[in-house]
Amino acid sequence: MLEWLLSKWEVGLDCVARSGQGFQVPSRRWLVERSFAWLLGRRRLGRCYDQLCEVEAGWIVIACVRWLVRRIARQNS
């Protein structure tokens, strides 16, 4: 699976071994969860209206561009 991910998507897969008992948050997991929460907070991305991956990917790009432009505008003001 790791080889497939690297060849097709250029994405790595990290397996986290458990140490001890209880829940421990893996490093950088919060970043991924926060990104998904931010994207799903956008009204248009909360539901899959078109059921096409290309359309949803386009809306994600639009949302990210809007976020970056607002961030740059805040830094310049």
pLDDT, one tens digit for every residue, the chain (77 residues): 778 888 888 887 777 676 777 777 666 777 777 777 777 777 777 777 777 888 888 888 888 888 889 889 988 87
**Residue ranges of the domains in the chain?**
31-77
Contacts of residue 16, defined as CB under 8 A and 6 or more positions apart, other chains included, come to 26
So what's the pLDDT on residue 73? 93
So what's the pLDDT on residue 62? 87
Single-letter amino acid, residue 59: W
| Closest residue by Cα to residue 42 from 16, 23, 70, 14 | 70
So what's the pLDDT on residue 26? 66
* Burial (0-12, 13-18, 19+ Cβ within 10 Å), 42: middle
